[in-house]
Amino acid sequence: MTSPPKSRSLPYIGAYPARQAHTVGMKSLNMKVAIITGASVGIGSATARSFLEEGYAVFSLARRQCPVQGVTSLTCDLTSEDAINCAADILEKAVTDCTEVALLHNASQMRKDSADDCSSDSLSQVLSTNVIAINSLNQRLLPRLPKSSSVLYVGSTLSEKAVPGAFSYVVSKHAQLGMMRATCQDLMGSGIHTAMICPGFTDTEMLRTHLGNDPEIEAAVAGMNSFNRLIEPREIAELILWAHHHPVINGAVLHANLGQKES
């Protein structure tokens, strides 16, 4: 048995992935492609592995390299329009002649802020990653997606509710929900479906950082569902893969939170 291919990281030149990357294996012979933002850690990394195991050519857009062997990492600052456009130049070539594409908007920023303590500059920075980058990628890639493709959004339980201390994140996740619903309507009849997957408290770097890496707080949060544990990233990855394969859920919001307790 041959060893799996190593993860390839395309070099970063200023705000741009290297232009020569266009000629370094970017025209995939694989007819199925998955494009995942934020696939360097957590849910994104687990989802990259799931699609790779199903025979997809997988591309990660993130500032850090995806650790999964076989994934092509496009080093990309999602707050930079120039970096997004350079990555999109590569991806447009990669999806040419594909039979299906899974476009997964997974990357997000999460900050501690509130309605009375969030500068417009800070809000703008969060929206750049969580909302504007999604639109920028959609504008470049949606016209090139074949039938049987999907445009999937990783939301949150906070896409439909709010908690204190996460103002900009709540705002952006509500915006993503609106984007998903508008995507469904605007792509009607195209053969491309969309959905939003809303994880509950998932064992990720982002959650632990937001909780201050405090074991007591983490244990309390883990006890806020009927199974008294954090969700594993691979569990969300399995749901995302299922959502890609089942267009019947077009326009749906899929909550995956182990039965979260409501206050």
All structural domains of the chain with their residue ranges: 8-201+233-256
| Separation between Cα atoms, residue 231 and residue 218, nearest integer Å | 12
Look at domain 8-201+233-256 and name its CATH class.
alpha beta
Mean pLDDT of the chain: 88
- Residue 28: predicted pLDDT: 46
Residue 85 burial by Cβ neighbours in a 10 Å radius (0-12, 13-18, 19+): middle
Question: How many percent of the chain have pLDDT more than 70?
Answer: 86
Can you read off the two tokens belonging to residue 54? 């199903």
- The arithmetic mean of pLDDT across residues 102-117, rounded, is 96
- The arithmetic mean of pLDDT across residues 132-142, rounded, is 98
Q: How many whole angstroms from its chain centre is CA 100? A: 18
- Residue 29: predicted pLDDT: 55
- Residue 25: predicted pLDDT: 45
pLDDT 10s digits, 10-39: 544 333 333 333 333 444 455 999 999 999
- The arithmetic mean of pLDDT across residues 107-126, rounded, is 96
Q: Look up tokens 């969030």; give the residue.
A: 118
- Residue 16: predicted pLDDT: 35
Residues shown for the chain = 263
Q: Look up tokens 């997974």; give the residue.
A: 106
- CB-based contacts of 58, cutoff 8 Å, min separation 6: 33, 34, 35, 36, 39, 48, 51, 52, 66, 68, 70, 71, 72
Per-residue pLDDT at 150 exceeds 90: yes
Closest to 81 measured CA to CA, from 69, 93, 89, 73: 89
- Alpha helices in the chain, H assignment, sequence order: 42-53, 81-95, 120-127, 133-141, 167-186, 205-210, 215-222, 233-245
Query: Which of 5-9, 84-88, 163-167 is least confident?
Result: 5-9
| Separation between Cα atoms, residue 242 and residue 247, nearest integer Å | 10
Rounded to 10 deg, the angle between the 42-53 and 233-245 helix axes is: 50
Closest to 26 measured CA to CA, from 107, 110, 93: 93
pLDDT 10s digits, 80-95: 999 999 999 999 999 9
- The arithmetic mean of pLDDT across residues 236-252, rounded, is 98
Cα-only R_g, the chain: 18
Query: Which of 129-133, 214-218, 232-236, 237-241 is least confident?
Result: 214-218
Q: Check residue 153 and report its DSSP letter.
A: E
pTM: 0.86
Q: Are 148 and 191 in contact (CB under 8 A)?
A: yes
SS3 61: strand
| Separation between Cα atoms, residue 194 and residue 182, nearest integer Å | 10
| Separation between Cα atoms, residue 38 and residue 56, nearest integer Å | 17
